[in-house]
Amino acid sequence: MLPLKEKDVLSLHAGDFVLLTGLIVTGRDKLHKFLVKEKPSRKEIPFDLQGSVLYHCGPVVRKKANNYEIIACGPTTSIRVDMYEPEVIFRYGFKGIMGKGGMGEQTLNALKVNHCVYFHAIGGAAVYLAERIKRVVGVWKLEEFGIAEAMWALEIDNFPAIVTMDSYGKNLHNTIEKKSYEELRKLIKL
């Protein structure tokens, strides 16, 4: 259940399969750069970010009479915002980051220091995941950044994801990469 509390984060471990329910916000390349360069205060952002999950996602959205419909919303590759993420986690109080492909050492360290966790959503499963959205709560920076790069606040229900980086410094991606390196060495006789 979101928002996440300290004890929720500590109870999650790399490898856990979870179903998330509650409020999340989206943010990708432009938003991350903006948050770090312009440093807007928490009050300037119309959603309560404390303990929420920042989802790396640029959705397909259709405008309806008085709201929006999220048509497709799978994760985007997280590593592109790795250089911004430690400051974003620290400054805005996120307790979860969600995307795909995992992140680097600096974010892993920030997860540890700030007690935060990385969820890996299922890449490309955009319609399935859109069906797990109960409501569009609001949107910020739509005019400035456009649909894909704006911050969408979404109420999700039983949204599947896998914890691949936890607050104890364990990173499933590193484990798999190391193993594949051993195989690579054998295959190309390094």
> Would you name the residues annotated as active-site residues?
32
Asked if 124 is part of the footprint of other proteins (rule: CB under 8 A), the reply reads yes
Q: Encoding tokens for residue 45?
A: 């952002």
Asked if 40 is part of the footprint of other proteins (rule: CB under 8 A), the reply reads no
Cα–Cα distances in Å, from 13 out to 77, 83, 101? Answer: 21, 24, 17
150 touches 141 (CB < 8 A): yes
Near other proteins in 126-185, by CB under 8 A: 126-131, 146-148, 160, 162, 172-173, 176-177, 179-181, 183-184
Instruction: Give the torsion through C-alpha atoms of 175, 181, 182, 183, to 10 deg.
Output: 110
Asked if 17 is part of the footprint of other proteins (rule: CB under 8 A), the reply reads yes
Q: Tell me which of 57, 88, 108, 110 binds other proteins, using CB under 8 A.
A: 57
Q: Which residue stretch of 36-44, 47-55, 84-92, 94-102 sits at the interface with other proteins (rule: CB under 8 A)?
A: 94-102
Asked if 62 is part of the footprint of other proteins (rule: CB under 8 A), the reply reads yes
In this structure, what are the phi and psi dihedrals at residue 84, rounded to the nearest 5 degrees?
-95, -25
Q: Tell me which of 36, 83, 125, 137 binds other proteins, using CB under 8 A.
A: 125
Whole-number minimum distance, CB 43 to other proteins, in Å? 27
Contact partners, residue 131, CB within 8 Å, separation at least 6: none
Q: What is the DSSP string of 57-94?
A: ---EEEE-SSSEEEEE----BGGGGTTTHHHHHHHH--
36 touches 58 (CB < 8 A): no
Please, which residue, 43 or 62, has the CB nearer to other proteins?
A: 62
Q: Which residues bind other proteins (CB under 8 A)?
A: 15, 17, 57-60, 62, 71-74, 76-77, 79, 100-102, 120, 122-131, 146-148, 160, 162, 172-173, 176-177, 179-181, 183-184, 187-190
